[in-house]
Amino acid sequence: MKAKITITPKKAVVDPQGKTVQRALEQMGYQGIGAVHVGKYLEIELTGDRAAAGSQLNDACLKILSNPVIEDFHVEIVD
């Protein structure tokens, strides 16, 4: 079992890293590029009960893995 966690800046938060990537892609000649948001991605291998794993990872995201003031997170558990 594995958890895939994505942590992204909230839409209302200024994302200079995303802006920089967007500008770089445009300057390299890529077409049709809109807003870019840069976040973190974590893959965590898990053992044990699926529901318990999901709830403890939600808790971990709120407490240490993300900054809930400026970031959103999404936890997905896959086999």
Report if residue 79 touches a second copy, rule: CB under 8 A.
no
- Which residue bears the tokens 């049709």? 32
Helix (H, G, I), strand (E, B) or coil at 4: strand
Could you tell me the smallest distance in angstroms from the CB atom of residue 69 to a second copy? Answer: 19
φ, ψ for residue 40, nearest 5 deg: -110, 155
Could you tell me the smallest distance in angstroms from the CB atom of residue 24 to a second copy? Answer: 6
Helix (H, G, I), strand (E, B) or coil at 6: strand
Report if residue 16 touches a second copy, rule: CB under 8 A.
no
Site pattern 32..61 for a second copy (x: CB under 8 A): xxxxxxxxxxxxxxxxx---xx--xx--x-
For residue 66, the one-letter residue type is: S
User: Which residues bind to a second copy, rule: CB under 8 A?
Assistant: 6-8, 18, 21-22, 24-25, 28, 30-48, 52-53, 56-57, 60, 63-65
